[in-house]
Structure 1
Amino acid sequence: MKPDIRGRQPANRRQKGAAAEEAAAQHLIQNGYRILDRNWRCRTGELDIVAEKDSVLVIVEVRSRSGSSNFGTPSESVDRRKMQQVRSTAEHYLHVKKQYGRPIRFDVIAVMLNAELTTASIEHIPNAF
């Protein structure tokens, strides 16, 4: 990667994702959620954050952008294919964790990052899909 005018290397995709997920987790904790799992993986995909609040299991898809929103907002990047993949992975999670019959919802947390990977804004969309 090419350094910026101050000689710093730009953050890579993994660093940006980790910064956004950490911001999302802190946002949830500050709003009374309990984090159960982060980056839970199985053969169908990954769940960014699994949390609970008021006895509801909350599956959170974290999306981020840095810089301008020329390519759309982070929340706009959750398309039908991604929703289906998260639902399928959530089914496996519920089975593995024996969480049968529990109320569940799917949220999106959209994080805009500054160049230094600090949080510019967070938008939490409950019941996003």
Structure 2
Amino acid sequence: MVDHIPEYQSTPKLTRQQKGKLGEQAACRWLQEHDYEIVVQNWRCRSGEIDIVATFEELVIFVEVRSRSGVGRYGTPQESVDFRKVQQVRSTAAVYMQRSGELNRQIRFDVIAVMQDATGESISIEHIVNAF
């Protein structure tokens, strides 16, 4: 009698969008664990998208989340926030503040860098306050 040997099944590879979503979820959990209040995720307008809008004390904080599953040739997550991205986040934040009617509140721009393993599990999270 021959025992049936199950076929090897690899873990399905996550898409870039799936890894990004997992990174954003990890960033939200991290912020909430550190007493930030999440106002909205993935806020969109014509000029772009803000990954996370949060509040902390009296500040409105616009958070750009960057995820990577390896440093390699693409560098660290935080290195991927280039001049064009900074400009896009700033202009989108201005639209958000105008539409929300909170023009008198102070704002801050942060980056959360999430390093992930191949399954999308967060290995490390770095919060860069006042990133730009």
Q: Please identify the structure whose Cα radius of gyration is greater.
A: 2
Q: For the aligned residues, what is the CA RMSD?
A: 1.0
Separation of aligned partners in 1, 2:109 and 2:9: 40
Q: What secondary structure is seen at the aligned counterpart in 2 of 1:73?
A: coil
Q: Which consecutive residues of structure 2, in runs of 5 or more, have no partner in the other structure? A: 1-7
TM-score computed with the length of structure 2 as normaliser? 0.91
1:69 to 68, 71, 92: 71
Q: What secondary structure is seen at the aligned counterpart in 1 of 2:19?
A: helix
Identity between Structure 1 and Structure 2 (%): 52
Residues matched between the structures, number: 124
Q: Which consecutive residues of structure 1, in runs of 5 or more, have no partner in the other structure? A: none
Separation of aligned partners in 1, 2:61 and 2:10: 41
Q: What secondary structure is seen at the aligned counterpart in 2 of 1:128?
A: coil
User: After superposition, what is the alpha-carbon deviation per residue over 1:2-46, rounded to whole angstroms, capped at 9, x for unaligned?
Assistant: xxx742321001100100000000000000000001000000000
TM-score computed with the length of structure 1 as normaliser? 0.93
Match in the other structure for 2:92: 89
**4+ runs deviating over 2 angstroms:** 5-9
1:114 to 107, 113, 117: 117
Match in the other structure for 1:124: 127
